Amino acid sequence: MAAFSVDGTCDPAFAPVRDVLAAQLADGRQLGAAVAVRVGDREVVDLWGGHADPDRAKPWLADTVVNIWSTTKGVVALAFHMLVDRGLLDPDAPVRKYWPEFANDSVLVRHLLSHRAGLAAFREPTTAEELADWNLMITRLADTRPWWEPGTASGYHALTYGFLVGELIHRVTGSSVRDFVHREVAERTAADFRIGLSPADNGRAATLVQPPPADPAAFQAMFAQLNPVALAVLTNPVVGPDQGNSAYWRAAQIPAANGHATARAVATLYGAFASGGVAGGQRLLGAAQVERAREGQGSGVDLVIGDAGLGGRETELGLGLWLSGADGHYGPNPRAVGHDGFGGSFGLADPEAGLAIGHVMNLMGNVIADDPRKMELIAAVYSCL
């Protein structure tokens, strides 16, 4: 295999990470990508390579940003935990305490963070364009009849999570979740992360690409056997690169799915969960709150991801982040936490190792979780510790 050039910096002890990224770019499994690794307060890897567009005319640069889909959720969870630390939110309170219009008394705040609220999907037909209408989305969700009894199971709230948690942030701060995260999280830590892009940043945004599934028949068969909750989550509405590359999506506030970032920024912000609440040299939350974020909320087969992507394997969520667990979704430490983004991006935090990883890319894979490129990069990082 021909060598493929990657740019950036890499501590010699972490050369295997460079080798893995270069190999993924060389064999076509990546179009353009970046990976960053922090150990304690040191940035030991900050690498990027490939192209930001499908025509391979635009190189991936140090400041290239890309839509990181659900990797955004970990940053929203960080903002939530900052507000718990400030005494403004209580995970054990009913959602109605902060959001009086919310119809269901049995939904607790922690249920929103752990995808156990039963509000994983809209019941009304919803278009992708309507996701940009904040008031419409929160009004619908406030009145939605839960798909299951809140608190009894997890079912991945792929798009609704950001509106539900984001509205709580809005109710207790008076700021939109986008503005709060920008002001209190990204600017304080100098992290190149935004929920939605400003017009000035569009020129450095990578174009998302998703190839057809390798086995279309198997893909169709998987959809045919989905339970009603998973089917609603994945199809009402359908979102993908066409939406992610559109002007309305890039400009919108969709805090479950339209964060735009560099890998460096993802590692910095997930690093708050790896370094006792400190990111970018700034204390964002206390060490005790980091531990609270890692409290398991009950293991089981997730009604969405377990059915559609993990073959019935059990998983467990903390408050806003997935636990690595026995299957090692985020490395060998079962207490490590992280979050995948649709197509292959991810953020990881391992407090025991003081480790944070961020990976972003624009060639989207066709698996819902544990993209093989992710697992290779994580294995390479841990081999260097």
Pairwise CA distance, residues 143 & 338, whole Å: 30
Question: For strand 66-67 and strand 259-261, is the pairing parallel, antiparallel, or unpaired?
Answer: antiparallel
Catalytic position from the list 5, 70, 299, 324: 70
Q: Could you confirm whether 70 is annotated as catalytic?
A: yes
Q: Decide if 303 contacts 149 (C-beta within 8 A).
A: no
Strands of 193-195's sheet, edge to edge? 66-67, 259-261, 193-195
CB count, 10 Å around CB of 68? 34
* DSSP secondary structure letter of residue 51: B
* Helices assigned H by DSSP within the chain: 15-26, 72-85, 109-113, 134-143, 160-173, 177-180, 187-189, 216-224, 228-235, 241-244, 247-251, 263-274, 287-293, 305-308, 372-383
Q: Decide if 292 contacts 319 (C-beta within 8 A).
A: yes
Structure tokens at 185: 């999280």
Own/partner pairs, 310-315, CB within 8 angstroms, 24+ separation: 310/368, 310/369, 310/370, 315/154
Q: Phi/psi at 23 (nearest 5 deg)?
A: -65, -40
Can you tell me whether residue 282 is helix, strand or coil? strand
Pairwise CA distance, residues 256 & 251, whole Å: 14
| Positions marked catalytic | 70
